Amino acid sequence: MFGKIVSSVVWSDATAPDGQQLVPVDPLALAADINTNGFAFLKGHDPGVPLGKVLRAAVFTSPGGTKFVAAILGYYAGGNRLSFRDLGFDPATVVSSPSLLPALTDACWINFASDPREVESAWLEDVLSTAPLRVERIELSHNAAEPLQELIRVGLLFMALVWNPFITTIATEAGKDAYAGIHRWLRTLFEKLAERHNPVVEIQSYHDECQFSFIFRGTDVKRHYAAHDALPVAVAQAEQLAANMKSIGNTPKLILYEFHPQDDKWFPSYAELYDGRFVTDNNILIAVEQLPSGLSLGLSRGKDKPRVPSVKRLS
């Protein structure tokens, strides 16, 4: 699976000129998370371009007293890989949106994650002021010397994404208003992206032990509207794809969708299985010829928070 294995320091207790720690995370917790779950790293902190994984990590202290986390990194090289068609699935199969969904409860929330050095607080406050649900803010730490992209992660309940305003009915009028409110707020977010430099929005959701991610790139509001209008069908398709993969023993941990630049349709860019293998028909993700620049390890600052709202959290 990995074409290169290298060592790296992925965290240290370095401080800014004001004395504040640059990345205020618990190094023991970070190393434990890496050793338990692995930790993906990306090119330019773009979720659509995974480069590999942090495989193992340990905490050390230098003779001078500097604490740091050293790690072993594996860069993907295309081995141990499947394609969606290898599994007998056509990822472009159209799946109907559900005709009925339950009402959202008062315990629902939105997760919103960004790096404050990339996305200023005034813009965030403006976007979040119209959010229809409680918002859990997460500060990311990309530590890019020259941030070329502004990554924004939005975690939403799966039911809110699969809802189709033209097909799906809700048991109560108040329930319908909640779904419609999320729908309107996302369109407001996409409008506000026109004010950004080079944004990448990752809409994340979690369902049946799988994370689903949908990528919106750039500042073209009209294109974002088209992608948003097509999203309910893509979410229903992704749910069916995950169920089919699971039924033959290839259980996906993550499926990431991109909006095709010419066809104006969502397609699965890649899936990561629980056994570590990748499923993709995208050749860009297969080989890394040399160690790339712009490596990004997206850490969350402060206390751990759930990134993706889950039905299990609401039960």
Judge whether residue 282 has pLDDT over 60.
yes
Q: What is the mean pLDDT of the chain?
A: 83
The model carries a pTM of 0.84
| Phi-psi map region of 51: left, alpha, beta (phi>0 left; psi -120 to 50 alpha) | alpha
pLDDT of residue 19: 80
Confidence of residue 300 (pLDDT cuts 50, 70, 90): low
CB-count burial class (<10 Å; 0-12, 13-18, 19+) for 131: middle
- Could you identify the residue written with the tokens 């330019």? 44
Q: How far apart are CA 81 and CA 271, in angstroms?
A: 10
Contact criterion met (CB below 8 Å) for 49 and 284: yes
Please name which of 196, 203, 186 lies closest in space to residue 218, comparing C-alpha atoms.
Answer: 196
Select from 34, 8, 2, 25 the least CA-distant residue to 295: 8
CA 253/CA 276 separation, integer angstroms: 9
Structure confidence at residue 41 (pLDDT):
80
Question: Is the Cβ–Cβ distance between 192 and 127 less than 8 Å?
Answer: yes
| Closest to 161 measured CA to CA, from 104, 122, 81, 123 | 104
Cα(238)–Cα(236) distance, rounded to whole angstroms?
5
Q: Is the pLDDT of residue 307 over 60?
A: no
Q: How many CA atoms lie within 13 A of 101 on its CB side?
A: 27
pLDDT digits (tens, 9 = 90+) for 171-211: 677 778 889 999 999 999 999 999 999 999 999 999 989 99
Q: What's the rounded Cα separation, in Å, for the pair 76 and 310?
A: 29
* 17-23, long-range: CB < 8 A, 24+ apart: 22/141, 22/143, 23/141, 23/143, 23/299, 23/301
pLDDT of the residue at 3: 78
| Residue closest to 137 by CA, chosen among 154, 118, 120, 112 | 112
Residue 286: is its pLDDT beyond 70?
no
